[in-house]
Structure 1
Amino acid sequence: MVKEPTASTSNGGREVMINRGATVSAQVFLSLRHDIINGALQPGTQLSEQSLSQRFGVSRTPIREAMLRLAEEGLVIIYPQVGTFVTKIALSKVREAQFIREALECAAAGAAVQNATEEDDAILADIMRTQLRCADEGDYETFYLFDEKLHASIAAASGFPRLWTIALAEKVQLDRVRYLNMNSAADLDALVAQHQAIVDAIAKRDKRAAEAATRRHLRDVFHSIEGLIAAHGSFFEQEPSGSTGKATQTGRRRPPRMPG
């Protein structure tokens, strides 16, 4: 099993349960992916194969395989003969992910109204109780995990569980913004209220309300995007002057300058 660093390490690691059935490279990938999404590994950080090999207690081969998967998701950029660096958040990718996620999850919420069972209602209600406790305790990490579980459970209740699998693959850059946005008790309280509105609408079998509540919830992150950029400017890729928000192709980028 891959060794996972404790909170006392310098890598921003944490104690987590890792899937024993997964390959070593998959375990490394998921751990690094999570550390990039939650900001433990910040944009511009260079990922050293040697250091990661020591951190996880594995050879360099699974580290390289994990790096390639991270590059495919746009979380790192690999410069041959130079190094591998955590990417900045591209707002064009965030907007694209938001568009895809809204289309999928509003449809899932509407279908859940039609197809959810009493067991589904109980599952969603139980998740909300856990999220409320996490908000009261300021437990951001567990709150995020149950945020994901809530949306996955709504997709399952819709009768089309693969919707969530598709959304997961598309929303990685959006998730980085979501983590930055969860930085106060007030933020968690607002998310709980938004989630509760969705769950209540599904329980009442109100399709229009479920879709509307989901849309409001998913668009909320953009209400605070300017503030997030002001507070965490180093996390974001600077957009071209006069950008319309459309995704654009860019030329080759130089390796990011390391801090300090």
Structure 2
Amino acid sequence: MATITRPRDRRTSVDVVFDHLHEAIVSLELLPGDKISEADIATRFGVSRQPVRDAFSRLANLDLLLIRPQKATEVKRFSVRETTKSRFIRSCVEAEVLRRAARTATPADHALLDAALAQQAMAVADGDYEVFGQLDYAFHKALCKVARVDWAFEIIAVQKASVDRLCRLSIAKEDRMGQLLDDHTAICSSLKNGDAERAVEAGMIHLSRLDATIDAILDRNPDYFDD
């Protein structure tokens, strides 16, 4: 009798290679500027070079790999210009999301956001940056849901992905979690009060926290940047 393959099992060799390299790049196991070889990756995973090439292409589309003809593929360095552009786009979208959320949030939405803050507080107490990062992602997605523009998070997620590695390089990460939780709390408080402009103000302060990180990395690791 033929075995039925469940959807969750339908991971191709491309998916496996992509997931591994994506995690290695985002977690900074592979640093900006590190070179990687199709042949080496194919040997490591026991696959042909085609699925590795396809995985590389997907990573390049996410702006995580730099693929150049006749040159070694390398982990994409940061770009101040591209980071600034991504943050500008995200700020514009999130500002409108917060304005709408202030108008549309219901008591049930307030309870949803309070529960999210409680989970974040637990992660802060545990000093668990990885969990906090996941909860931060979910929080901004929830804000789009509260604003009744779920699709807006698709835009935010793309822009967020482009600076996630920078966030990982933040100095004293655990110390920043409390500050970020305070930002989230201020946003929720403004939404509960229906104060759209205060919510936007709190949101923009929250997004500006990356400025110090960028300056510190530029000072300590300028070779991580290509401009």
TM range (shorter): 0.7 to 0.9
How many Å apart are 1:21 and its aligned residue? 5.7
Tell whether 2:209 aligns with 1:213. Answer: no
CA distance in 2, matches of 1:110, 1:100: 16
Q: Which residue of 1 aligns with 2:63?
A: 74
Q: Which residue of 2 aligns with 1:174?
A: 163
Show structure 2 runs of 5+ residues with no match.
1-7
Show structure 1 runs of 5+ residues with no match.
1-18, 240-260
Tell whether 2:175 aligns with 1:150. Answer: no
Equivalent positions of 1:5-16 (< 5 A) are none
Q: Which residue of 1 aligns with 2:107?
A: 118
* Partner residue of 1:136 out of 122, 125, 143: 125
Q: Which residue of 2 aligns with 1:227?
A: 216
* Partner residue of 1:29 out of 9, 12, 18: 18
How many Å apart are 1:20 and its aligned residue? 4.6
Q: Which residue of 1 aligns with 2:98?
A: 109
CA distance in 2, matches of 1:201, 1:39: 35
Aligned-partner SS, 1:124: helix
More helix by share: 2
Change (3 A) 1:124 1:182: farther
Contact 1:140 1:182 in 2 (8 A): no
CA distance in 1, matches of 2:90, 2:202: 14
- State the Cα deviation string for residues 133-191 of structure 1 (Å, max 9, x = none): 22222211111111111111101111111111012223333222222226333211111
Change (3 A) 1:182 1:202: farther
Contact 2:25 2:75 in 1 (8 A): yes
Tell whether 2:46 aligns with 1:62. Answer: no
Equivalent positions of 1:176-191 (< 5 A) are 176-181=165-170, 183-191=172-180
Once superposed, what is the RMSD of the aligned Cα atoms? 2.2
